[in-house]
């Protein structure tokens, strides 16, 4: 796992304009494992110019050929899957099995899905006396987070390339090594020079320069709602398109007819996966008051089983943030039934799997995204009360509903203000649109809906 000391621009690794570097730290033992360039505005400009120059030829490339490049990219990722998993474990702290199955397995599936979509998509349609063309938006500035470092990259770059767009990627500064491996895979796949470019750097420097660059036609950002607001404002001022996948505070609604043990156990597992660093995690569990204490005991037992089986948080800053939320939960009157703010390890950025009971909807831990292994369990009186609580945050990214009958759960899910709901533990579908209502974002990722974000329409009247 050797870090490149350059940026991938116009098909080659080249030195950054400044000598500033970013230290990459292993969150398990707090050791520095590599350095990457901290690119700046001049580097972003060079990358955008390369993407702009490559755009006409790539946009004119037949969809079948773009699909072939995406298939080759998927194959290159498959060939490197062990190296990628080891890198994700090293810079994010993800347990090796989870890194292989989810951090590598999911993006490989998504890359393959876009190879198929690029080949199958109809880039023009007839509407009355018009022919409507689906054309690439242009140069895409992609800004990705650290929590799923490869998946978030693939979920933007693959549909952009399928659509005929060119891309400049600014990955999260905590996990840049995975992004470098992705750039190597793109190169191996024979994607033409300038179609994909990588600039590692800090968000307020390289990220802001990319979001504001006049040569960028669409900014696709995944991360916090606070930063999403800034990017949306910058894009709006320049009248450029924006796709924002932001925070969440998703509700796991367990209706009285549900299999309580299964719903609670799956719900706890959902929150603890990836150490709670998942925007769509079901961090609020809603249980009818009659079965509330039973659910709390089930959650306590389930959380205790995780012990040290979950990885650390990505950084000292994230560890301090999550501990602060746990302390705030206690201060506001919630009851800790598992875990707590203390670290279970002397070294590393670990936080114990934590479960809160006696949580009210107004508490900070029931309203704000914590982004750690912290579950809040809230009681409700009846179905209308559950719906009010579920819809009672600024977010609307995901959720879950459990009931004895799937149609009962689906009827409740239809009333939730959220972009995705799992019914009785329904599996994640990489072809289904992913994205949020309200302050959880603008636009959708994955599948045909994700491809549509990178296309614009032109109508020819005959």
Residues labelled catalytic: 245, 279
Angle at 147 between CA 269 and CA 274, to 5 degrees: 20
Per-residue buried b or exposed e for 253-288, using 16+ beta carbons within 10 Å of the residue's own CB = bbbbebebeebbbbbbebbbbbbbbbbbbbbbbbbb
Tokens of 225: 């709602």
Cβ atoms 442, 248 nearer than 8 A: no
Tokens of 200: 């590692």
Can you tell me which residue has the tokens 């959220």?
418
Cβ atoms 109, 137 nearer than 8 A: no
| Cα–Cα distance for residue pair 279/342, rounded to 1 Å | 23
Angle at 397 between CA 410 and CA 340, to 5 degrees: 105
Q: How many CB atoms lie within 10 A of CB 237?
A: 9
- The residues near 120 (Cβ < 8 Å, ≥ 6 apart) are none
| Cα–Cα distance for residue pair 398/148, rounded to 1 Å | 17
Q: Which of 26, 3, 25 is nearest to 16 (CA)?
A: 3
- How many residues in total does the chain contain? 462
- The residues near 357 (Cβ < 8 Å, ≥ 6 apart) are 296, 334, 335, 337, 377
Q: Phi-psi region for residue 207, left (φ > 0), alpha (ψ -120 to 50) or beta?
A: alpha
Residue 23, classed as helix, strand or coil, is strand
341-348 CB contacts, 8 Å cutoff, 24+ apart: 343/319, 344/307, 344/308, 345/308, 345/312, 347/28, 347/29, 347/30, 348/27, 348/28, 348/29, 348/30, 348/93, 348/312
| Cα–Cα distance for residue pair 37/230, rounded to 1 Å | 24
Q: Which of 20, 12, 11 is nearest to 41 (CA)?
A: 20
Alpha helices in 144-279 (DSSP H): 149-163, 176-188, 208-212, 225-237, 260-272
Give, for 105, the enclosing helix (H) or strand (E). Answer: helix 105-120
């Amino acid at each position: 796992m050797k870090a490149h000391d350059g940026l991938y621009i116009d098909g080659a690794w080249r030195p950054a304009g400044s000598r500033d570097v970013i230290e990459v730290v292993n969150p398990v033992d707090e050791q520095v494992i590599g350095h990457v360039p901290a690119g700046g505005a001049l580097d972003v400009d060079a990358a955008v110019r390369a993407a702009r120059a490559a755009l006409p030829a790539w946009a004119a490339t037949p969809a079948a050929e773009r699909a072939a490049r995406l298939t080759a990219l998927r194959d290159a990722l498959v060939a490197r899957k062990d190296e990628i998993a080891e890198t994700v474990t090293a810079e994010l702290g993800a347990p090796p099995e989870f890194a292989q199955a989810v951090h590598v397995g999911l993006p490989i599936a998504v890359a393959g899905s876009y190879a198929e979509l690029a080949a199958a998509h109809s880039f023009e349609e007839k509407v009355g006396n018009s022919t409507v063309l689906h054309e690439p938006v242009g140069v895409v500035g992609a800004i990705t987070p650290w929590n799923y470092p490869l998946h978030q990259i693939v979920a933007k770059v693959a549909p952009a390339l399928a659509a005929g767009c060119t891309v400049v990627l600014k990955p999260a500064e905590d996990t840049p090594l995975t992004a470098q491996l992705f750039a190597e895979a793109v190169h191996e796949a024979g994607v033409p020079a300038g179609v994909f470019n990588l600039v590692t750097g800090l968000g307020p420097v390289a990220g802001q320069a990319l979001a504001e660059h006049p040569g960028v036609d669409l900014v696709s950002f995944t991360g916090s709602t606070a930063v999403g607001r800034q990017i949306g404002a910058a894009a709006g001022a320049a009248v450029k398109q924006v796709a924002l996948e932001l925070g969440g505070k998703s509700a796991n609604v367990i209706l009285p007819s549900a299999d309580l043990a299964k719903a609670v156990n799956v719900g706890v597992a959902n929150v603890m996966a990836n150490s709670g660093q998942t925007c769509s995690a079901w961090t609020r569990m809603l249980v009818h008051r009659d079965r509330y204490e039973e659910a709390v005991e089930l959650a306590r037992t389930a959380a205790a089983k995780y012990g040290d089986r979950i990885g650390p948080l990505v950084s000292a800053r994230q560890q301090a943030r999550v501990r602060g939320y746990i302390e705030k939960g206690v201060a506001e009157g919630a009851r800790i039934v598992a875990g707590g703010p203390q670290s279970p390890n002397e070294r590393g950025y670990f936080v114990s799997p934590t479960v809160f009971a006696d949580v009210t909807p107004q508490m900070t831990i029931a309203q704000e995204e914590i982004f750690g292994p912290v579950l809040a369990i809230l009681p409700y009186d009846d179905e209308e009360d559950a719906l009010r609580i579920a819809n009672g945050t600024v977010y609307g990214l995901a959720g879950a509903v459990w009931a004895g009958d799937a149609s009962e759960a689906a009827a409740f899910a239809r009333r939730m203000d959220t972009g995705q709901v799992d019914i009785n533990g329904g599996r994640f579908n990489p072809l289904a649109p992913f994205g949020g209502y309200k302050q959880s974002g603008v636009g959708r990722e994955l599948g045909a809906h994700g491809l549509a974000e990178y296309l614009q329409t032109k109508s020819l009247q005959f």
